[in-house]
């Protein structure tokens, strides 16, 4: 069985909450330990797109002061592979749907910007503390813009690499990213929520041990 991991497969906050991990380093260490056991016992292969997602994840772990031991485990048990972007075939309908989704996001973001321009005009005419009010509006706009434009789409090369590599290997995708989830379905790929991945690995390992002792 093959899986392709996104950065969130290791760093997802919901995963840490469900598993009661106190830090990203603890989360990474436990997941990599489970992957190691699954690899040895069940020939499970866990891939990470290289260098895009790999560098992203390594940088994240280093910024959180994770130990060298954890980084070595990552290099040992995650298979680094660059997707073969020249050979992977994608149906034209997927590109067609992506262009439509981008156009829809652009239209929504334009309307959002117009709303905030009108609101900022009202603030400058009525507020005594214009700078503070405009600062609050900018903060609200950034949050709304991020939700409106980025949610549900593939918006980075690393996200696309996850899908392409999974397509190439006929592997499951492990992530908590909504855009990756949405487009995994369009690509016809199995999708595993990052927060559920440790439990899935434990169940696979437990079942293998059960049959070993029968």
Average pLDDT, rounded, for the chain: 88
User: What is the model's pLDDT at position 110?
Assistant: 78
User: What is the model's pLDDT at position 84?
Assistant: 95
Is cis: bond before 15, omega within 30 of 0?
no
Query: For the chain, what percentages of helix, strand and coil (3-state, to nearest 5) are there?
Result: 70, 10, 20
Are 80 and 35 part of one and the same domain? yes
Are 56 and 98 part of one and the same domain? no
Are 80 and 172 part of one and the same domain? yes
Are 83 and 7 part of one and the same domain? yes
Are 140 and 165 part of one and the same domain? no
Characterize 120-138 residue by residue with b for buried, 16 or more Cβ atoms within 10 angstroms of its Cβ, and e for exposed.
beebeeeeeeeeebeeeee
Query: SS3 of 169, please?
Result: helix
Nearest partner of 165 among 178, 184, 151, judged by Cα: 184
Q: Per-residue pLDDT tens for 49-66?
A: 999 999 999 999 999 999
Q: Per-residue pLDDT tens for 192-204?
A: 999 999 999 999 9
Cross-strand bridge partners of residue 187 = none
The pTM of this model reads 0.81
Structural domain of 142:
92-150
Are 11 and 76 part of one and the same domain? yes
Are 142 and 184 part of one and the same domain? no
Domain end position, chosen among 150, 165, 197:
150
Q: Long-range contacts made by residues 188-195, C-beta under 8 angstroms, separation at least 24?
A: 189/163, 192/3, 194/6, 194/8, 194/9, 194/10, 194/12, 194/14, 194/15, 195/12, 195/14, 195/15, 195/17, 195/18
Q: Per-residue pLDDT tens for 91-132?
A: 888 888 888 887 887 777 777 777 777 777 676 666 566 677
- CATH no. for residue 78? 3.40.50.1010
Q: Per-residue pLDDT tens for 123-156?
A: 666 656 667 777 777 777 777 776 666 666 777 8
Q: Name the DSSP class of 89.
A: -
Mean pLDDT of 185-214: 87
Cross-strand bridge partners of residue 45 = 2
Mean pLDDT of 150-172: 89
């Amino acid at each position: 069985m093959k899986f392709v991991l996104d950065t969130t497969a290791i760093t997802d906050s919901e995963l840490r909450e469900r598993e009661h991990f106190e830090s990203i380093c603890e989360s990474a260490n436990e997941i990599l330990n489970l992957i190691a056991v699954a690899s040895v016992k069940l020939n499970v292969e866990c891939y990470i797109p290289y260098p895009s997602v790999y560098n992203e994840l390594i940088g994240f772990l280093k910024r959180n002061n994770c130990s060298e031991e954890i980084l070595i485990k990552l290099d040992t048990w995650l298979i680094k592979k660059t997707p073969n972007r020249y050979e992977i075939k994608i149906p034209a309908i997927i590109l067609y749907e992506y262009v439509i989704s981008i156009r829809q996001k652009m239209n929504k973001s334009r309307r959002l910007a117009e709303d905030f321009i009108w609101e900022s005009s009202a603030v400058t005419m009525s507020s005594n503390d214009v700078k503070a009010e405009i600062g609050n509006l900018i903060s609200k706009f950034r949050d709304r813009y991020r939700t409106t434009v980025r949610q549900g789409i593939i918006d980075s090369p690393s996200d696309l690499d996850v899908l392409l590599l999974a397509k190439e290997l006929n592997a499951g995708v492990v992530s908590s990213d909504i855009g990756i989830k949405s487009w995994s379905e369009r690509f016809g790929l199995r999708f595993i929520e990052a927060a559920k991945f440790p439990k899935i690995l434990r169940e696979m390992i437990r079942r293998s041990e059960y049959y070993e002792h029968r």
